[in-house]
Amino acid sequence: MDTLRNVKCGCRARIHGLNGQGALKRRLMDMGLTKGTEVYVRKLAPLGDPMEISVRGYELSIRKSDADMIEVE
Partner 1 sequence: MIKVALAGNPNSGKTTLFNDLTGSRQYVGNWPGVTVQKKEGTLRRKKDVIITDLPGIYSLSPYTPEEVVTRNYLLKEQPSVILDIIDSTNIERNLYLTTQLIETGIPAVGVLNMMDLLEKRGDTIDIKKLSQLLKCEIVETSALKSKGSFEAADKAIELAKKQKTTIPQKIFADSLEAELLKIQQIIGDMVGQHQLRWYSIKLFERDKRILGELALSDNQKKVIEGIIKNYEKKAGDDSESIIINERYEFIGKVVKECVVKKNVFESTSDKIDKVLTDRWLALPIFALIIFVVYYVSVSSLGTIVTGWTNDVLFGKYIMGNLSVWFDSIGATAWINDLVVNGIIGGVGAVLGFVPQMFILFLLLSILEDCGYMSRIAFIMDKIFRKFGLSGKSFIPMLISSGCGVPGIMASKTIENEKDRRMTIITTTFIPCGAKLPVIALIGGAMFPGVVWMAPAVYFIGIAAVVVSGIMLKKTRLFAGDPSPFVLELPAYHVPSPRNLFMHVWEREKAFIIKAGTVIFVASGLIWFLSGFGFADSGFGMVGAESSLLADIGNIIAPIFAPLGFGNWKAAVATVSGLLAKENIVATFGVLFGLGSDVAEDNSGLLQELQSMFSFGGAAMAFLVFNMLCAPCFAAIGAIKREMASAKWTAFAIGYQTILAYAAALVVYQLSGWLGGHLSFGIGTVAAITVLVIMLYMLFRSNKYKV
Tell me which residues touch partner 1 (CB under 8 A): 17-18, 21-32, 34-35, 37, 43-50, 52, 56-63, 66
Choose between 6 and 45: whose C-beta lies nearer to partner 1. 45
- Please state the closest distance from residue 2 (CB atom) to partner 1, in A: 20
CA-wise closest residue to 64 among 55, 56, 52, 54: 52
Q: What is the largest CA-CA distance in the chain?
A: 30
Report yes or no: 54 and 40 within 8 Å, Cβ to Cβ.
yes
Residue closer to partner 1, measured from CB, 14 or 27: 27
